[in-house]
Amino acid sequence: SAQEMKHMENLSNLAQGSGPMEFQPSEREQPWELIMDKKHFRLWRRPIQGSHLYQYRVFGSYTDVTPRQFFNVQLDTEYRKKWDSLVIKLDVIERDVATGSEVIHWVTHFPYPMYSRDYVYVRRYNVDKENNLMVLVSRAVEHPSVPEDPEYVRVRTYESQMVIRPHKTFDENGFDYLLTYSDNPQTVFPRYCVSWMVSSGMPDFLEKLHSAALKAKKMELEVRDYLSKGSDTAPEPCGPAQLEYA
C-alpha cells in the first residue's frame, strides 16, 4: 500500500500542469479508467479479472484537517455512529493485543429497494513515523460470533486500503491520501448500476468523513487517539492524564 502511494505521488508530480494522471499498469493488469476528476480528488476504476466487479481508486488532498484527525475519525467506531447516518450497527467484535488487529461487524443501509448489507471484516493500521505514512487496511473475514442474519445480505468480498501522507507532520494541516477499494454487494442489478452506486457513494462518504474530522476539530470532540501508543499495541481510550483531541 505504501509503495502504491509513492507511485501515485510520482505520477501526481509528473502530471502537475500537464492534464490528468494516467496509470501505466503492468502487462498482466487491467488499465485504470478515470471516471471522476474533482477539485480535491480523482476517482478511477478497473475491471477485476474473472468477475463482473470493479476495483476503485481515489487519490485526493485536504488542507484544512491534520492527518491525525482524519486517521482517528476513520478508526473511531463510536464516533462514526454519530456522523454516518447509513450505519445501522458498528461494533468491534474482537481485538488482538499483539498486532492491534480488530474484527468489526458493520451493518449499513443500501438504497431502496435493496436490503441492508452487513460486513464482517478485520482491519489493521500502521503509523510509520520514519517514512511519514499512515496505513489502514481491511478485508472481509468470517467470525463465529457473527453468523449470517436473514435480515441482512452478508458481503463476503471486501477489501480496502487507505494510505495517508502528511504534507508536513501528523499534527499540521494538509495531507494526500490514496484509497483503493473493492467489494461485491451481491445485487441483482447490472454492473453499470453497481458501478454508479459505488462511484457516487464513495466521494459522498469521503466528504462526510472530512466533515466529521472538521467537526471534531472545531468542537474539540473527544476522539480516541490511535497514534499516541504507537501501532504495536491495541488502542485504548485516552485517560484524563493524557487526553488528546483529534
pLDDT (average), residues 109-119? 85
In a domain, 72, yes or no: yes
Block residue for cell numbers 457516487 = 200
In a domain, 5, yes or no: no
In a domain, 230, yes or no: no
Compute the distance between CA of residue 185 and CA of residue 156 in angstroms, rounded to an integer: 8
Lowest mean pLDDT of 6-15, 94-103, 185-194, name the range: 185-194
pLDDT digits (tens, 9 = 90+) for 35-81: 888 888 899 999 888 887 889 999 999 999 999 999 999 999 999 99
How remote is the C-alpha of 143 from its chain's centroid? 21
Q: Where residue 121 falls among pLDDT bands split at 50, 70, 90?
A: very high
Lowest mean pLDDT of 67-71, 86-90, 195-199, name the range: 195-199
Q: Where residue 9 falls among pLDDT bands split at 50, 70, 90?
A: confident
- 81 backbone dihedrals φ, ψ, rounded to 5°: -60, -25
Q: For residue 154, what are the β-bridge partners?
A: 118
Compute the distance between CA of residue 140 and CA of residue 150 in angstroms, rounded to an integer: 19
In a domain, 124, yes or no: yes
User: What pLDDT was estimated at residue 160?
Assistant: 95
- Nearest C-alpha neighbor of 71 from the set 203, 198, 235: 235
- 204 three-state secondary structure: helix
pLDDT (average), residues 199-213? 85
Compute the distance between CA of residue 139 and CA of residue 224 in angstroms, rounded to an integer: 22
Residues in contact with 161: Cβ distance below 8 Å, sequence separation at least 6, in sequence order: 1, 4, 135, 136, 137, 138, 178, 179, 180, 181
Contact 111, 153 (CB under 8 A): no
- 70 three-state secondary structure: helix
In a domain, 199, yes or no: yes
In a domain, 9, yes or no: no
Q: Provide the 10 A C-beta neighbour count for residue 66.
A: 21
DSSP for residue 12: H
Peptide bond into 190 cis (omega under 30): no
Give how many domains the chain has, as a whole number: 1
Task: List Cβ<8 Å contacts ≥24 apart for 177-180.
Answer: 177/58, 177/59, 177/60, 177/61, 177/62, 177/70, 178/1, 178/4, 178/5, 178/8, 178/57, 178/58, 178/59, 179/56, 179/57, 179/58, 179/59, 179/206, 180/1, 180/4, 180/55, 180/56, 180/57
Q: What is the 3-state secondary structure (H, E, C) of 127-181?
A: EECCCCEEEEEEEECCCCCCCCCCCCEEECCEEEEEEEEECCCCCCCCEEEEEEE
CATH of the domain at 54: 3.30.530.20
- Nearest C-alpha neighbor of 164 from the set 179, 153, 142: 179
- 29 three-state secondary structure: coil
Residue 52 C-alpha cell reads as 463482473
List the domain range (segments joined by +) for residue 114: 29-215
User: What pLDDT was estimated at residue 222?
Assistant: 60
In a domain, 234, yes or no: no
In a domain, 141, yes or no: yes
User: What pLDDT was estimated at residue 194?
Assistant: 62
